[in-house]
Structure 1
Amino acid sequence: MPVDPEAPTAPLPEGRTLRTRLGSFARSTFADTTPLRTVSYRRLWLAGIVTTIGAQLSVVAVPTQIYAMTQSSSYVGLTGVFGLLPLVVFGLWGGAIADAVDRRVMLLITGSGIAITSLALWVVAASGVGSVWVVLVLFAVQSSMLAMNQPARASVIPRLLPAGQLPAANALNMTVVQLGAIVGPLLAGVAIPLVGLGTLYLVDAIFLLATLWATFRLPAVPPSSTGERPKAGIRQIVEGFRYAALHKVLLVSFLVDVIAMGFGMPRVVFPEIAHTVFGDPVDGGFALGLLFAAIPIGMVAGGVLSGWLARVSRQGVAVTAAICVWGIGVALFGLTSSLWLAVLFLAMAGAGDLVSSVYRNSMLQSVATDEMRGRMQGVFTVVVAGGPRLADLWHGPAASAVGPGTASLIGGIAVVVVTLVVVMRFREFWSYRVPVDSRP
Structure 2
Amino acid sequence: MSFNRLVTDFSILKTNRHFRHIFIARTLSLLTIGMLIVAIPQQVYQMTHDLLHVAFATAIEGIAMFIGLLLGGILSDRYDRKKLILCARSLCGIGFIGLAVNAMLSSSSLSVIYFLSAWDGFFGALGVTAMMAVMPIIVGRENIMQARAVSMLSIRLATVIAPALGGIIIATTNIAAAYWIAAIGTLLTVMLLLNLPSLKPLQHNENTESPFKQLLLGFKFVFHHKIVGSTILIGTLLSFSSAIRIVFPQMVEQQFAGGAFELGLMYSAVPLGSVVAAFLSGWTNQLIRPGNVMLYFCLAVFTSMIAIGLSPWFSLTLFILTVFGYCSAVANLLQYSIVQGHTPDHYLGRINSIWLAQDASTDSIATTGLGLLTRFLPIASSIFYFGLISLFIGLLCMMRFSSVRKTSLQDPDLQES
Determine the C-alpha separation between the residues in 2 that align with 1:401 and 1:89: 34
The answer as to 2:280 corresponding to 1:305 is yes
- After superposition, residues 214-293 of structure 1 pair within 5 angstroms as 214-226=192-204, 233-269=211-247, 278-280=258-260, 290-293=265-268
**AA aligned opposite 1:294:** A
The one of 24, 30, 44 aligned to 2:7: 30
Once the two structures are overlaid, the 10-residue window that deviates more, 91-100 or 229-238, is 229-238
Cα offset for 1:207? 2.6
Aligned residue in 1 for 2:25? 47
TM-score scaled to structure 1, two decimals?
Answer: 0.78
Cα offset for 1:119? 4.6
Superposed CA deviations along residues 217-272 of structure 1, whole A, max 9, x for unmatched, are: 21111121236855561010111111111112111221122222235333445677
Determine the C-alpha separation between the residues in 2 that align with 1:78 and 1:412: 30
Give % identity.
22
Cα offset for 1:301? 0.7
**AA aligned opposite 2:19:** Y
Determine the C-alpha separation between the residues in 2 that align with 1:57 and 1:272: 26
Aligned residue in 2 for 1:319? 294
Superposed CA deviations along residues 154-174 of structure 1, whole A, max 9, x for unmatched, are: 111111122211110111111
Cα offset for 1:53? 2.6
**AA aligned opposite 2:320:** F
Determine the C-alpha separation between the residues in 1 that align with 2:191 and 2:324: 34
Once the two structures are overlaid, the 10-residue window that deviates more, 323-332 or 398-407, is 398-407
Aligned residue in 2 for 1:426? 401
Once the two structures are overlaid, the 10-residue window that deviates more, 197-206 or 369-378, is 197-206
Once the two structures are overlaid, the 10-residue window that deviates more, 292-301 or 389-398, is 389-398
Cα offset for 1:327? 2.9
User: Quick one: structure 1 residues 263 and 299, their matched pair in 2 at CA, closer, same or farther if it must change by over 3 Å?
Assistant: closer
Contact 1:76 1:396 in 2 (8 A): no
Aligned residue in 1 for 2:127? 149
The one of 142, 145, 159 aligned to 1:164: 142
Contact 2:308 2:321 in 1 (8 A): yes
Partner secondary structure for residue 9 of structure 2:
coil
User: Quick one: structure 1 residues 29 and 434, their matched pair in 2 at CA, closer, same or farther if it must change by over 3 Å?
Assistant: same
Cα offset for 1:347? 2.7
User: Quick one: structure 1 residues 260 and 125, their matched pair in 2 at CA, closer, same or farther if it must change by over 3 Å?
Assistant: farther
**AA aligned opposite 1:28:** R
Determine the C-alpha separation between the residues in 2 that align with 1:436 and 1:235: 26
Number of positions where the alignment pairs a residue of Structure 1 with one of Structure 2: 409
For the aligned residue pairs, the C-alpha RMSD in angstroms reads: 3.7
The answer as to 2:93 corresponding to 1:115 is yes
Cα offset for 1:98? 0.1
Determine the C-alpha separation between the residues in 2 that align with 1:272 and 1:343: 15
Cα offset for 1:152? 0.8
- After superposition, residues 10-409 of structure 1 pair within 5 angstroms as 25-36=2-13, 37-61=15-39, 81-82=59-60, 84-120=62-98, 129=108, 138-188=116-166, 193-195=171-173, 200-226=178-204, 233-269=211-247, 278-280=258-260, 290-333=265-308, 343-395=318-370, 408-409=383-384
Contact 1:77 1:396 in 2 (8 A): no
Structure 2: gaps of 5 or more residues = none
User: Quick one: structure 1 residues 77 and 414, their matched pair in 2 at CA, closer, same or farther if it must change by over 3 Å?
Assistant: farther
Once the two structures are overlaid, the 10-residue window that deviates more, 336-345 or 413-422, is 336-345
Cα offset for 1:88? 3.7
Superposed CA deviations along residues 90-127 of structure 1, whole A, max 9, x for unmatched, are: 32221111011110111112223333444555566676
Determine the C-alpha separation between the residues in 1 that align with 2:176 and 2:374: 27
User: Quick one: structure 1 residues 413 and 77, their matched pair in 2 at CA, closer, same or farther if it must change by over 3 Å?
Assistant: farther
Cα offset for 1:403? 7.2
Partner secondary structure for residue 374 of structure 1:
helix
Once the two structures are overlaid, the 10-residue window that deviates more, 402-411 or 308-317, is 402-411
Bigger Rg, structure 1 or 2? 1
TM-score scaled to structure 2, two decimals?
Answer: 0.82
Determine the C-alpha separation between the residues in 1 that align with 2:23 and 2:138: 12
